[in-house]
Amino acid sequence: MLDNDTAEVIRRFNDAFRFHDPKALEALVADDCTIENTTPAPEGKRESGKAACLAVWQGLASAPGTQFELEEVFVAGPRALIRWRYRFGPGPADSVRGLNWMRVRNGQVVEAMGYVKG
């Protein structure tokens, strides 16, 4: 996979969160996708399959009063590293920073491992 292909999938993935467009995720998530989620601490929860992954991500993308801010995106072949801040309220303490280590195959996300600063 070319870096440009991965970058485009990740751009569209990030935009679904930035613009609160959970429906856009449907075309971007593979049937065999897996997520290693950031919660519950300390190990997170593993989700497998398109429906389970969509449930997690669409819930975040549609959450009212939240804001997803990109800090950095790095792409290398089929892999991408996304550094972000997720705001869930108006105050300076109402956010969390983290990163996702992603893998893309055939134009869809097949793996995501999320980590947060604690």
Average pLDDT of the segment spanning 38-65: 94
Distance (Å, whole) CA 98 – CA 78: 20
- Over residues 58-84, the pLDDT tens digits come to 999 999 999 999 999 999 999 999 999
CA dihedral for 79, 85, 89, 90, sign (positive or negative): negative
Q: What is the mean pLDDT of the chain?
A: 95
Q: 3 pLDDT band (50/70/90 cuts)?
A: confident
Enter the DSSP assignment of 62. Answer: T
Full-model pTM = 0.93
Nearest CA-CA partner of 62 in 114, 7, 19: 19
Q: Which residues fall within 8 angstroms of residue 108, CB to CB, at 6 or more apart?
A: 9, 27, 28, 29, 30, 33
Sketch out the chain's domains with CATH numbers: 3-116 (3.10.450.50)
